[in-house]
Each structure stands twice: as C-alpha cells, then as structure tokens.
Amino acid sequence: MHQYKAENAQPNPKSTINSYRSFGYNLSTAIADIIDNSISANATKIDIDYTWIGKESYISIIDNGNGMNLEELIQAMTPGSKDPDEIRNENDLGRFGMGLKTASFSQCKRLTVITKKLGYKTIKRCWDIDFINEVEEWVLLDYISDSKFLKLIDKYESGTIVLWENLDRIVGNAQKDNETVKNAFYQEMSTVKEHLSLVFHRFLENNKIQLTSNTYPIEPWNPFLYNLTTKPEMGLPAKIGGNVDVTYYILPHMSRISPEEYEKSGGPLGWFNQQGFYIYRGDRLLVSGDWLGLEKKRDYSKLARIAVNFPNTGDFAWNLDIKKSTATPPIEVRRELARIAKAAIKKSAKVYNWRGQKSISDNQKSTSIEMLWNDETNREGIKKYKINRKHPIIKQALELEGAKKIVSKTLKLIENNIPLELILYNQNEDPSHHELEKISETPSDELIKLAIDLYKINISNGIPESLARQQIMNSVPFNLFPLINDYLK
C-alpha cells in the first residue's frame, strides 16, 4: 500500500479530545479504570480522596506504585500510547493505553498526573480541555493548581497521583452552599465505594491491595457469600476453552440465614438481580449478575451465581471494551457456559422450591437502584410493603405545592390495600405469569415523557446534566430501558 500514499489526515485536537468524553463511563467505572493502572504499576495502597468545594471540588487517586520518569509520564498521558497487540504481563489490567485519558475526561475537564519514580524527582503533567479547545493543539502543561497536591506523594518512595478538577459532569458550576448537588456528589462517591468493593473484591480478600475512600477502608464484597453462617454450595471447578476457569455457587435458601445476614448479603442490586454470571479478567470483575443472554432472571434461579475467569490474553476473543465493563464469551466457551448455567439453575430451583412459599421476599433495597417498593417488618414480625418516598417520581409528587397531603394519603391507601392474596394465588397457579421476561423491551411514550419531565426538574434544581440523567436511569422502572437515556437532553 506504500505506493498509494497520499496525505496525512491528522485528527483535530479539539474534536478528538472532546469525543473521548463520550465513551460511556460513569463515575464508578471511571475510577475503577484508574485503579487498574495503579494495580498494573504494582501498587499495594490506593487512596481515593474527594473534597466538596462546589465547582472547585476535586477527586484524586493516590497510589504507592512504581511511578514514572518524564518519558514514561508523557507516554502515559498520550492517547493510544500502548499497542493493543503487545503481549502483557499477566497482572497488567490495561490493554489499549486509553483508560487514563478516557476515564478522566469522562468526568472532568482538567487531568493532572503527579508521579515519582524511585531515584527520580517528583514531576507533573496536565491536560486541560478548555486550553486545548482554545489553542487546538495537543499541548501538555507543566501545571499544578495548588502546590499542596505535590506534597501528597511525599509519604511514598514512589507512586502516582491522578487528580481530577473542573468536575463539570459531576458538580458543574454549583456553588459550595448548593445542598442538592452536594448531597448528590456524596451519594455518588458512596456508590463508587460499593462498586469498588465488588469489582476488586478478590484483590482485597487476598491482601494484594488496600483501598481507602477518604481514609476509610473499602471492605471486599464477595458475591458468592463465603461469609454466611450457612455456606453456599460450591460446584467442582472446571476449565473450558483451554484457559477459562468456571465455578458455580448455589447460595443457601434465604430462610436459612438471619435477617441481618440477608440484609447485608443482597449486594448493591438485591438477591434477585445479582444472580447469573460473574466474569473476571485476571481476578478483576468485569460483568456481574448477568446471564449473558443464555438464561433469564427468574425467582427460582436467584440462588445461582457462576464465577468465570479468563486471562488478559483472551481480551480480543472476549470482545473486551475500553471501559472493561462488558465482555462477550467466544462461541465455544458460550456453549459450555450455557450447559453449566442450566445445571446451576436446576440446583438453585431445587433449593428454592424445597422451601416452597415460605421463602422471604427479595430485598430490593439498594443504594445504586432506587426501587419503587421497599419491604419492612413490624414489631409483630409481619412483613409490610411500603412505597419508597425517595424514588424520584414519588419524591417530586410529594414536593408539589399543595399536593403533599393528598399524595401522602393516596400512597398510604395503596400500601394498605395490596392484593397479596390474589398475587399469591396467581403465583401458585402459574408462576410464569410473574416472570420478568414478560416486561416489554421498549419503553412506552408515557414513560419516556415522565423521564424527560423529571430530568428537566433536576436541571432546574441546579443538578449537572450528567448526574441528573444518571439519577433517573438508576431508578425503577427507567433502569430497565437504557433507550430512555437517549431522550434526556
């Protein structure tokens, strides 16, 4: 092809760097991507620090890894700095050389990296999107907004700080006294903590790393619940496709664990939604609680969870994306996973059905997903079902001027007249009537309009667009229809 060479088509810096902001990260997946780099740099201590100062708020990730010299730092700051075909160390969690930039730009407009390699001085480099938009050149800055950040690395012989400022996607131009955005910011950081405790639980359990969030330790959350008093049933480990390790786990029936254990063990999404495959790449969790289209989530299969681990040499075969949040198994592996899934579901159904209708209902409470209904147990031990007043639809209805009293009475009327007998009768007669696969795959026009109205209300309250959109998409039933996100503009 050399004989056909024509012109060099250089990408425009302004349009390119702004396109890096749209790779689909949320705050949790973005920070997880930065931690991947820390682990690849042999860090054992990683601190996530965040400070609310309105639009001056910032987030930093500090590690005690190898650090970098100037040449290595410039390479790390350069988009697409690694050859994706390059053979990696088995502990390397990277692949494309894009994560630092795309993850950071998805959340902020100024990325500063401060680093110190053993035997070298502390150095820094900064990408500022507003500056790039102004000069339209790929110009790195030798800049730091406050010298206090340089001193944070002094506690380690080597290490790196990734500093995010101008958090326009999280706090926007909010003032320091804006309590609505402040609370949303802290809630997002709480969600990040839960996400990291799951994604890196194997590293935390094996003491390979210590993770903290504003000095507080992040404890591992193991989806296979080894810590229960009644231990899960573990299937025989299998190796499929040559280098893929698979083990299934059948959790104990909910009636065999205490209410306290049940509350803690449901995970971020609750027992029902945590069922399915857990895909790991070198012990780093990529996909959690998903049947990968091989099965559908059912009540009787919610005790089945299957661990699948593949090495980084399988990245292309598994169609790993830049965010490392999706992975699709190769065809030959998929067939074996389907077989293992059926066996695990069969065992789950046996445990679940053995207890019959005595099973405790799913605890749908979640800090990540706002459910429409919550369950409570009164002093007499009777289970009651309450409408979640924190759900965005209910919350807005209760805040309508002059309507709070009548809306509150209406909610109580509904709660006190749930047709439990009819539901139980239909469930016993034909459980398939209540299966989740009956839900439509596309949202109704009414649901889309409701989401848009809620989005506009959030914006009017000063919540940044990205966060306003995320709060809606993290609540039922909007979370069931990703398409709605396209209408929130």
DSSP per-residue letters across 148-176:
HHHHGGGGSSSEEEEEEE--TTTTTT--T
CA–CA gap between residue 339 and residue 335 (Å, rounded): 6
Indicate whether 96 pLDDT > 60: no
**442 and 477 co-located in one domain:** yes
**45 and 194 co-located in one domain:** yes
**86 and 39 co-located in one domain:** yes
**82 and 164 co-located in one domain:** yes
Average pLDDT over residues 115-138: 94
**199 and 75 co-located in one domain:** yes
Dump pLDDT digits (tens) for 440-479: 557 888 889 888 988 888 888 888 888 888 888 888 788 7
**317 and 173 co-located in one domain:** no
With respect to residue 349, please indicate whether it lies within any of the assigned structural domains: no
We report the CATH number of the domain holding residue 201 as 3.30.565.10
Residue 64 · residue 183 · CB < 8 Å: no
Indicate whether 392 pLDDT > 60: yes
Closest CA to 368 of 191, 173, 212: 191
Lookup: tokens for 257: 């664990």
With respect to residue 88, please indicate whether it lies within any of the assigned structural domains: yes
Residue with tokens 């900064």: 126
Lookup: tokens for 415: 């709660």
Residue with tokens 């000063």: 462
Overall number of domains in the chain: 3
**69 and 113 co-located in one domain:** yes
pTM for the predicted model, two decimal places = 0.72
CA–CA gap between residue 246 and residue 239 (Å, rounded): 6
Residue 71 · residue 86 · CB < 8 Å: no
**212 and 246 co-located in one domain:** no
- All residues at 6 or more sequence positions from 277 whose CB lies less than 8 Å from its CB, including other chains: 287, 289, 290, 291, 292, 305, 306, 308, 337, 341
With respect to residue 351, please indicate whether it lies within any of the assigned structural domains: no
Among the three residues 173, 189, 217, which one is the final residue of a domain in this structure?
Answer: 217
Dump pLDDT digits (tens) for 209-245: 999 999 999 999 999 988 788 888 998 899 998 889 9
Lookup: tokens for 6: 């024509």
Structural domain range at position 397: 373-487
CA-only gyration radius of the chain, Å: 24
- Residue 357 has a pLDDT of 33
With respect to residue 58, please indicate whether it lies within any of the assigned structural domains: yes
- H-assigned helices in 287-403: 331-354, 392-398
CA–CA gap between residue 437 and residue 289 (Å, rounded): 16
